[in-house]
Structure 1
Amino acid sequence: MTGGSEPSVAARDDLAGVVDLFAWLTREELSRAVSELAFKRRTEADREAIDAAIEVAVAEYALVPAPREALSTEGDGIGEAADPLAVGPAAFPSLPADAEDLPHILDVPDRAVDRETLSAAVLDRLSTDAVAAITDGNAGRLEVLADVTYDVEAWAPVDAGPIRERIVAELDGA
């Protein structure tokens, strides 16, 4: 899924496509799915590279942490330590080769995501991330987050305008 030292946009979108097959996955399940795809391609799966790709996807809102109250399952039984992820507003989910076989390979029950609850959590996270980037003076991160404010509004019926206005004001030196 990666070609160079950093995961590509295609890798993030492939990760989102894999998650989209199931509605949501834990980080461990997603890592296992990527490892299974590598096995099907007769290649090695580098756990550190997979973890790095997932981190990039989360940082850039292609994948988002999903609060438990946004998740419905059929007898799932995931532990409290599980870290569920759902497709985020910055993703353009795409299925990597052989991904259509993953539902047959992974033992994952039927799942669903409550988009309203998820979108509220994403908006809260976006606000928190913006405050942290402003506090740190991280202009690069603020530019990414400004783009995400538009993505999230197209993705869900939320208003990210106040967050965007604060980010833009900070970037413009106000």
Structure 2
Amino acid sequence: MSSDDETPSVAARDDLAGVVDLFDWLSRDELSRALSELAFKQRAEVDEEAIAAAIDVAVAEYALAPAPPEALSEGGETPESGHERDTDGDALALAVGPAAFPSLPDDAADLPHILDIPERGVDREALSSAVLDRLSTDATRAIEAEDAARLETLADVTYDVEAWAPVDADGIRERIVDALDS
């Protein structure tokens, strides 16, 4: 799941997004369990730390998006609890983000038959609003930290998010470009 430098590849992030896309959204714990099942089916070792790192990178790079409870449905209803951010983040609900090109890893098509996960849905409007808010917050932090590499990544995400949802990220992009140019 990772390359020689221990940074998950773009393909790995897109595979994570593909697994999430099978279900519309998954908690971190459910995604970890799904990836462990895939490793088992592929007769590979399960490296929980590598799985956690890959999920963290996918979230940081907007391939996976933390989804607010109001964006989630389960079995036709909004989940009552258990899918909000908790202290260790395992129950955090994740949906496919704007920087993903979801792909399915080998044997992933079997996951809906293996995992006991009810039918789910994501309200794209609520999710895109949350992603745009997160992008603005991340841009502010990167500007304050003078983190040019992060700002470059976030500048790319501003274009991705506009292609992914009917939102306007011009203001965020302008702040990022101004910070990079100064």
Name the TM tier (shorter chain): over 0.9
Q: Residues 17-61 of structure 1, C-alpha deviation per residue, up to 9 Å, x if partnerless?
A: 000000000000000000000000111110000000000000000
Query: Matches of 2:35 and 2:3 in 1, distance apart?
Result: 15
Q: Which amino acid is the alignment partner of residue 3 of structure 1?
A: S
Identity of aligned residues (%): 73
User: Residue 114 of structure 1 aligns with which residue?
Assistant: 123
Q: 1:87 aligns with which of 96, 111, 114?
A: 96
Note the C-alpha offset of 1:78: 5.5
Cα RMSD, aligned residues only: 1.2
Equivalent AA in structure 1 for residue 126 of structure 2: T
Q: How many residues align?
A: 173
* Equivalent residue, structure 2, for 1:165: 174
Question: Residue in 2 aligned with 1:3?
Answer: 3
CA deviation profile, 1:128-160 (whole Å, cap 9, x unmatched): 000000000100000000000000000000000
Partner residue of 1:44? 45
What are the ranges of 5 or more consecutive residues in structure 1 without an aligned counterpart?
none
Alignment of 1:1-150 (within 5 A): 1-4=1-4, 5-74=6-75, 79=82, 80=84, 81=86, 82-150=91-159
Once residues 109 and 43 of structure 2 are traced to their aligned partners in structure 1, the CA distance between those partners, rounded to angstroms, is 17
TM-score by length of 1: 0.96
* Helix, strand or coil at the partner of 1:149: helix
Structure 1 position 6, deviation (Å): 1.1
SS of the equivalent of 1:95 reads: coil
- In structure 2, runs of 5+ residues without a counterpart are none
Letter matched to residue 9 of structure 1: V
Amino acid at match of 1:22: F
1:107 and 1:101 map into 2 onto residues whose CA distance is: 12
TM-superposed CA distance for 1:77, in Å, is 6.3
Query: CA–CA distance in 2 between the matches of 1:10 and 1:120?
Result: 26
The AA in structure 1 aligned to 2:180 is L
User: In 2, Cα distance between the equivalents of 1:138 and 1:3?
Assistant: 24
